[in-house]
Structure 1
């Protein structure tokens, strides 16, 4: 895939970079990086992101160390004790999510999982029932029931008439009255259930800002829409909520269950952060002309190793060109929106949980990860006030309405995962798992010439290294 969808596009990408620079200059920007960043209307955004990654880095290093040590028990010499993890062992083609290795690396494997899919099948769940449950969740927050147009326009199951149909879930705003819809091949599974909640977040955002002028009918910034979808899914995915709606029997929270659930979430959301950051940092560097054409591929893998501590399954060469094999690179879609969403959703979640009386930051026995804002009109009204603004005000104004803060911060994310971080630090000490990785990256030519990019370094927990430094 990398060879066919990436390397073959090298000439096209060079043309794209030239046109990107021309477009930026015509709009009075020095490069495409500044043009993309300008959409966030905050000159301090890059600094905010650097600060966020300095705060997250120690936690990510502990997660990486535990995963590498756990995988080594299975793969032996395939994984070194102090090097990057071969990305093909992380359960995802890009190593952007590690959730598919959860069963292989579970902290407490003897602790039964929630088994939601099995229970949904036993209770004869349908796609319609899943959507109705999601609607009821939003209505419980003092939001309106969905308009009839939603049910008439939506495809919530794959058509059976043989037509071509893209199954990736997508929420649509048709910008006419309350015409909104979702296209999704819903399956009866826990994953689909939470995807429904996420997509419904987009739908309610559309409906809440529908009275704004058309130019303002959008999220407060590119990351807001994704964050809104995810923040409601954070509540819906808790064992507490599953118990409330009858999908989980005899629920009694304990430390082992808490660690397992936080670990699963971290494999999906925390592992994603350095991937998303490095992907756009790489493109900013290309837009700014900081990377020579013969180093395009070398710089890509160097930045991925530095940020995430991963390496490609096989040696990649200067002549390869792997970044465009990722859809968003070839399609000119900035990835920062997903990074911003992963930070903002925890800020939203914390503030909503405090409003709902579901979380007390001063109580050591109160866990942000166990908060469910279901049926809290106070939290719902705060969301409605923020979301109804759409793009009519700068995004810090929208953020301030719900959170009282005007900048992004990783502090809520760190509070959410604090029990897991404490457990990982203790576990890694017990097992002797090394924290950090030494660089193994070398830029090689297929002709055999070797050109090292940067000196090998060992990243340790007590040394703060900016993820973007190359």
Structure 2
């Protein structure tokens, strides 16, 4: 019997030898391609990155052409590599790791173009024009006074005049209607490119970057939202009630929704600008960092130094001298620039930079920490293969800096000398601090969900070009309980008034980041030896936390994000419970405040009152 099994094994091996040999050849061919693609992609990336930096910090016709020309070469390279990777993925015998690497090559481009140089050039032209329309947009009032977006944002945050708020809200949205047809053409081209690579559409292409199928990712996102939804609904109910009390029923819809122009934010994506209205006469937050910045006469460089100091306190290296020489920290007076904050590693080695028009506010302090989080992540994985230089998944990149920013609390400000003493920890102060954070973090969740849900519907054809705007506001109402303050039509293109639509940046990463950051914070606080309430923890100065954090960063995207998350936190999935634990005292307080209120909102729009004086 033993001899029979041995003989059978030999026969089977002999019969399968050609197949095994072919599989080995396919594996070797794929590995060789992956290494060649790395070298080729690295060579074309640098000139394209430099051109994009110049365009973003000096917008002219010529710099736009530079972006198009260098971008065309980069995209043609990416298209060719993506098609080769797609062909290799069809061959049998590839290992799981090789298949994953080939998928990385296949999905390098943000907007895959069809295999046609003219189509690639057109896609780049549209992208540059959309960004140019957004970056150079402004609003001019009846007196001819023109305001930039940053100036409008500042006024919206402080104004309590509904007529002024409405004028600014409507004024900025005059920027986006010219984008509409360009965007529609872009969708058609990018969908064709995604289809050529084996994806249903551009939405499927974007969702499939998360080490799971596009459908599985969409289901996971919805599952995370359902877990976090009760906290948001409690917050929305309280905020809507307080806005109605403050502005009067004549300035609110009366259907349970929040009018978008009264939130202190141009997109109603966070509500921290109306903290005074939401809390009313109750205890204010324990500190006002914006006031502290003014009192200490701190400037933009001081804020960046403060953020760098936090990372250095964790045992990470200071930023290179070139960071300070080459970054754009404030808006230049002599030229048009893209002010939207971003972090760069231009040569993918040590040429780290940020691009911002820093304003001296508490929110901007958090944004600077966020952007430096990107820089430290970029530095940590710089020695990996080109296609492994990136976050474990896109949400990790966004979550890192935000997790650090959760440590910007009274304890930390006292540690670095910006507060004379740590704030008191009584219940009222605790609730005020948590509310301030929730108006930023919790309020943001459904907005982040809507931005990509709208695009997924557009990319799939579920929403056609003739219903872009109505579909946008339907989702805003459904998920956020937020409504437009005046009637909108298909003559408008309100999605385009948000940078990430013309900028073609997937927004699911921000939704994930707003959950992951609390998981990261929870784990880092544990490593730092903190044992109190999570919202009181600051990991400033903990090298134990910094060492473990840097190991996660250095892994880049070299393995599935679930493995990286498990190595860092012990969990293999995004878990909203960390956020819910963080805000648990606030949720209890909100439930008490909402007793007797009619919470929830009508899903169908009702007639809107005329705006008040």
Q: TM-score range by the shorter chain?
A: 0.7 to 0.9
TM-score computed with the length of structure 2 as normaliser: 0.67
Contact 1:6 1:322 in 2 (8 A): yes
Is the Cα contact below 8 Å between 2:208 and 2:217 reproduced in 1? no
CA contact (8 A) 2:283 2:428 kept: no
Contact 1:2 1:322 in 2 (8 A): no
| Structure 1 counterpart of 2:83 | none
SS at match of 1:61: helix
- Counterpart in the other structure of 1:457: none
Secondary structure at the aligned position of 1:182 is classed as strand
Structure 2: distance between partners of 1:385 and 1:300: 40
Structure with the largest fraction of helix? 2
Q: 1:90 is matched with which residue?
A: 263
Deviation string 1:90-126 (CA, Å, 9 cap, x unpaired) is 1222211111111222265444641323333333434
Larger-gyration structure (1/2): 2
Q: Deviation per CA, 1:302-329: give whole Å up to 9, x if none.
A: 1110100111011123554432333322
Partner of 1:453: none
Q: Does 1:268 align with 2:435?
A: no
Pick aligned residue for 1:309 from 481, 484, 503: 481
The answer to whether structure 1 residue 426 and structure 2 residue 592 are counterparts is yes
Could you tell me which residue of structure 1 aligns to residue 413 of structure 2? 242
Question: In the aligned structure 1, how far is the partner of 2:279 from the partner of 2:450?
Answer: 27
Query: Which deviates more from structure 2 when the two are superposed, residues 4-13 or residues 410-419?
Result: 4-13
The answer to which of 433-442 and 185-194 deviates more is 185-194
Check whether the contact 1:66–1:424 (CA below 8 A) recurs between aligned residues.
Answer: yes
Distance of 1:266 and 1:175 partners within structure 2: 37
* Aligned counterparts, 1:68-467, within 5 A: 68-77=240-249, 78-80=251-253, 82-106=255-279, 109-111=282-284, 113-158=286-331, 162-175=334-347, 177-235=349-407, 237-250=408-421, 251-318=423-490, 320-359=492-531, 366-429=532-595, 432-441=596-605
Contact 2:448 2:508 in 1 (8 A): yes
Residues matched between the structures, number: 434
TM-score, normalised to structure 1, is 0.86
Partner SS state of residue 329, structure 1: coil
Whether contact under 8 Å (1:84, 1:440) holds in the other structure is no
**CA-to-aligned-CA distance 1:392-445 (integer Å, 9 cap, x gap):** 12222221221111111211111111111110001111xx2221112232799x
Closer, same or farther in 2 for the Cα pair 1:84/1:373, shift >3 Å? same
CA distance in 2, matches of 1:289, 1:8: 21
- Work out which of the residue numbers 1, 9, 14 in structure 1 matches 2:184: 14
Q: CA RMSD in A?
A: 2.4
Residue pair 1:62, 1:425 contacting (<8 A) in 2 also? yes
Say whether the 8 Å CA contact 1:167–1:185 is kept in structure 2.
Answer: yes
> Within 2, Cα distance between the matches of 1:350 and 1:394?
22
Q: 1:24 aligns with which of 194, 212, 220?
A: 194
SS state of the match for residue 215, structure 1?
A: helix
Query: Once structures 1 and 2 are overlaid, which stretch shifts more, 178-187 or 86-95?
Result: 178-187
Q: Distance in 1 between matches of 2:238 and 2:530?
A: 31
CA drift of 1:186 comes to 3.7
Q: Which runs of 5 or more residues in structure 2 are unaligned? A: 1-170, 609-613
Contact 2:283 2:429 in 1 (8 A): no
* Alignment CA distance shift 1:121-1:75 (3 Å): closer
- 3-state DSSP of counterpart to 1:4: coil
Distance, in Å, in 1 between the alignment partners of 2:246 and 2:500 is: 33
CA distance in 2, matches of 1:200, 1:17: 32
> Structure 1: where are the runs of 5+ without partners?
360-365, 445-470
How far residue 156 of structure 1 moved from its aligned partner, in angstroms, is: 3.4
Q: Is the 1:285–1:291 Cα contact (8 Å) retained in structure 2?
A: yes
SS in 2 for 1:131: helix
Shift of 1:293: 4.3
In structure 1, the partner of 2:95 is: none
Give, in angstroms, the shift of residue 188 of structure 1: 4.0
Task: Check 1:183–1:5 CA distance in 2 against 1; reply closer, same or farther (3 A cut).
Answer: closer
